[in-house]
Amino acid sequence: MAKPLNFYLDPAGKKTNASVKKVVAVLSGKGGVGKSTTAALLASGLRRKGLQVGVLDADVTGASIPKLFGVSGAVFQDEQGKIIPPESAGGIKIISINLLLQSEDDAVIWRGPLVTKIIKQFWEDVKWGDLDVLIIDMPPGTSDAAITVMQSLPLNGLVVVTTPQDLADMVVRKAANMALQLKTPIVGIVENMSYAICPHCGEHLEIFGPGHGEQLARKYNTQLLGRVGIDPELSRLCDAGQVETYASQDVTPIVEKLHHWVES
């Protein structure tokens, strides 16, 4: 017979799942910077390292994690009523509001209290089992949902995703400042869409201008985990639900640094 998950309160009073070793949230100040894709790539890379990995899609009104991993179908409960998260082709456990809707196209038109409630349920009522790391795809910005994750879930750290544009950098600083105010450590910065490669000459083109990832990392006393370029192959694999099969020279060192943090 399946056993229910065991929870305890950490010193901050947050309900903690004793079988999940590390919880890291992937955060951005705004949508459209590749936060969910980054979360999926980090989860996939850590899984290839042999870790037991789960992904909690807390971006309730803009859920995309199941699509990236090609996960669909019914979600079941065990004898104790715990939700059994479906697994990706590579063995990553996933929970998302999109897996509970009749259609992935259904709009989630919920007010803040209901959104925060489902996020808490995804942590407390899902049978995650023994995980080395749970990656949370955060909602963008500094709204109720983001605050719920950072105040109610026992986060060990944050990965902040930005892009080279000054506007994105400014908004990301708001999110990073929220992390500081809520005393959540920042593991590092990922600068996404940092460049594109000319298909004819191979030149690296900074189509959004020079990046600010290093300056951002220094400002918040953390590390630049790495820069990721624009790659049409990644877009194709994400659309096909095969993000786990993607690997690149940009992503590998980022995963290495996060893997070192998870194991520390």
Across the range 28-47, mean pLDDT stands at 92
Question: Are 156 and 23 a contacting pair, CB within 8 Å?
Answer: yes
Share of the chain above pLDDT 90, in %: 61
Question: Are 84 and 78 a contacting pair, CB within 8 Å?
Answer: yes
Q: What is the pLDDT of residue 35?
A: 94
In the structure, what pLDDT confidence band is assigned to residue 252 with cuts at 50, 70 and 90? very high
Q: What is the pLDDT of residue 86?
A: 96
- pTM for the predicted model, two decimal places: 0.90
Domain locations in the chain as residue ranges: 22-263
**CATH of region 22-263:** 3.40.50.300
Range of lowest pLDDT (13-27, 65-79, 132-146): 13-27
Q: What is the pLDDT of residue 12?
A: 55
Q: What is the pLDDT of residue 249?
A: 94
Return the structure tokens found at 49. 């390292």
